[in-house]
């Protein structure tokens, strides 16, 4: 069998929704705050405004890095492996051989279900990647079924049977 890509998925930025909302609130406050300060309070509030501006800049950088981290994650299912890519400065590729997959679990919490997303956790006999989670992906049940179908195909092709003691 070759390593043809069956599907490729990325997690949703919905994971950063709370950070985006807080950042929008801080930016609105930043736009309104200097206009609400009177001339008498200007000397007293000068340091407060600069401190608030510093907090906004730091939170913006934090939100940007969170965005880039989620943006850099990618999942690929091939005929023989499940590949997980992560990292935006240095990239890491983890692979799970499909014939080693024992079980999977689909978890769809309410905040992800609202957007049609969910998490799929893969359990395997690999030492390093015994548990791999695909977070905030679209159509999690279809993804889990696709993984299961390909696991069955590769196990049949390699003549691997699960024996329970």
Residues 6+ apart with CB under 8 A from 111: 14
Model-level pTM? 0.84
In the predicted structure, residue 81 carries a pLDDT above the cut 60: yes
Average pLDDT over residues 109-138: 93
What percent of the chain has pLDDT above 90? 70
% of residues, the chain, pLDDT over 70: 88
CA–CA separation, 120 and 104 (whole Å): 7
Minimum mean pLDDT range among 7-11, 144-148, 158-162: 158-162
User: pLDDT: is 140 or 33 the higher one?
Assistant: 140
**pLDDT, tens only, 14-35:** 999 999 999 999 988 888 776 6
Quote the crossing angle between the two packed helices 42-71 and 17-36, to the nearest 10°. 160
Region 103-114 average pLDDT: 95
């Amino acid at each position: 069998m070759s390593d043809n890509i069956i599907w490729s998925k990325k997690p949703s930025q919905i994971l950063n929704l709370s950070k985006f909302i807080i950042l929008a609130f801080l930016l609105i406050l930043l736009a309104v705050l200097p206009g609400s300060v009177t001339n008498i309070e200007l000397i007293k509030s000068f340091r407060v405004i600069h401190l608030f501006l510093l907090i906004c800049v730091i939170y913006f950088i934090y939100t940007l890095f969170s965005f880039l981290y989620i943006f850099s994650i990618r999942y690929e299912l091939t005929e023989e492996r499940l590949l997980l890519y992560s990292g935006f400065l240095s990239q890491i590729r983890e692979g799970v051989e499909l014939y080693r997959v024992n079980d999977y679990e689909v978890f769809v919490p309410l905040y992800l279900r609202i957007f049609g997303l969910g998490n799929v956790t893969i359990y395997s006999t690999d030492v390093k990647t015994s548990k791999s989670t695909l977070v905030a992906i679209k159509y999690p049940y279809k993804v889990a079924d696709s993984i299961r179908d390909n696991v069955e195909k590769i196990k049949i092709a390699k003549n691997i049977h699960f024996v329970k003691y």
